[in-house]
Amino acid sequence: MTTTGTRVAIVTGGSRGIGRQVAERLAADGMAVVVNYAGNEKEAQAAVDTITERGGRAIAVRADVADPAAVAELFDTAEATFGGVDVVAHLAGVMNPPTPIADTDFEVLDRVHRTNIRGTFAVAQQAAKRVRDGGAVITTSTSVLGLNLPGYGIYNATKGAVEAITMILARELRGRDITVNTVAPGPTATALFLDGKDEETVDRMAKQPPLERLGKPEDIAEVVAFLAGPARWVNGQVLRTNGGIV
């Protein structure tokens, strides 16, 4: 099934949270969407069903983003199904419970590093080779990076690497009219953010931005859609999408 004349997007981590909202938003904008997931096939298929019920086109593809061979197969499937790849929205990521550096378990460090850094690098590498001219690559950092909060040593280290990879890729793709940016959400009401936090902590973080609420996945999806579509003069940037925290 080849889709002629339609832009094609791969959304990693597209089965839940921000990734799912991005997948649905890009589909609503007229793109054919490949919903990538690591293990939750049921949620990924639910995302596909939602898109197709609304008249869009989507498939779900399982791939471990930290496995370069699996990521290559993900892009192969997108090309075989829809004819190419124009947009890569890399939303797959993991977060560890806040832990002081002095108490860090190196197995946790390696797990978060594997998904957030190795995974971003593997996706960026395939994007560099496969995204069609005129396309867009969007990665995901975090606004917590600018706050230097105690306990976020592992997570911030990985997201600092994501920003570095993204900025360098933007320059390496010179001459191909491909934009490369990263979105850095602030506290956003997803399972990834809420897991392990008590109500007092969540309420305190919700009051940090001048808009005095947590972000919603739809807020982040709006920015990703902007970068994936009309924002052709925004390149090599970090968009801190956080309601005004920093």
Helix axes 17-28, 217-228, angle to 10 degrees: 50
Helical (H) or strand (E) element with 246: none
Strands 58-62 and 85-90: unpaired
Residue 155: active-site member: yes
- Measured between alpha carbons, how far is residue 92 from residues 12, 16, 117, 122, 171 in Å? 5, 10, 11, 12, 23
Residue 233 CB-density burial (10 A; 0-12 exposed, 13-18 middle, 19+ buried): exposed
State how far the alpha carbon of 243 is from the alpha carbons of 107, 152, 199, 211, 239, in Å.
Answer: 34, 20, 20, 6, 11
Active-site option among 82, 152, 155, 193:
155
Alpha-carbon dihedral angle through residues 207, 157, 194, 123, given to the nearest 10 degrees = 120
d(CA 205, CA 213): 8
Helices of type H across the chain: 17-28, 41-53, 68-82, 106-113, 119-130, 153-172, 191-194, 199-206, 217-228
**Structure token pair of residue 220:** 């982040």
DSSP H or E run through 65: none
- Token pair of 159, please? 């997201």
- Catalytic residue ranges: 155
